[in-house]
Amino acid sequence: MPNFSSVEVIIPPNLKRHQGDPKLLPILSSVNSRMGSMALVHIEDICSAHIFLMEHPDAEGRYICCAESCVMSELVWLLKKQYPCSIAQRVDSTEQDSVPSKISSKKIRDMGFNFECSIQDIIHQTVEKCVDCGFLLPAHHGEREKNM
């Protein structure tokens, strides 16, 4: 039976709603500095990968399930593009000196599996769900307050 290895960062719900959790950036920065990149995958792709592997009797061993990897600055840029707000965190400038490691899903891709969700899809749906659940204010709300 196949096993999945996952490199993951579980982001807890923001208990101080709309203020940002000061503990989160150091956690993400630590993962970024150790790995050089962040591995992202949508839960729907994880479920599809499990089903795909169960349907392939030749599947054995461990599988890494990662749609894409990106460096922290790219992740921050994509988040800001999706959720513009007045609070911007500085990304460590040493990132430019490092060579990011790529988290590869080559083994499962070589079997014919395709990831359906892009990094943009993952970020869009995550931000949308956080707004729906009240963990984030709608992006226009912060801009309206700033102009008042």
pLDDT tens string, the chain, 148 residues long: the values are: 555 444 444 444 443 344 455 666 676 666 666 666 778 899 999 999 999 999 999 999 999 898 988 887 788 788 888 777 655 555 544 455 556 677 789 999 999 999 999 999 998 898 888 889 888 888 765 444 444 3
Q: Please calculate the CA angle 33-67-11 and round it to the nearest 5 degrees.
A: 55
CATH class of 3-147: alpha beta
Reduced to 3 states (helix: H, G, I; strand: E, B; else coil), residue 38 is: strand
Confidence (pLDDT) at 38: 77
Confidence (pLDDT) at 8: 43
Q: Please calculate the CA angle 96-117-27 and round it to the nearest 5 degrees.
A: 40
Confidence (pLDDT) at 2: 56
Q: Model's pTM, two decimal places? A: 0.66
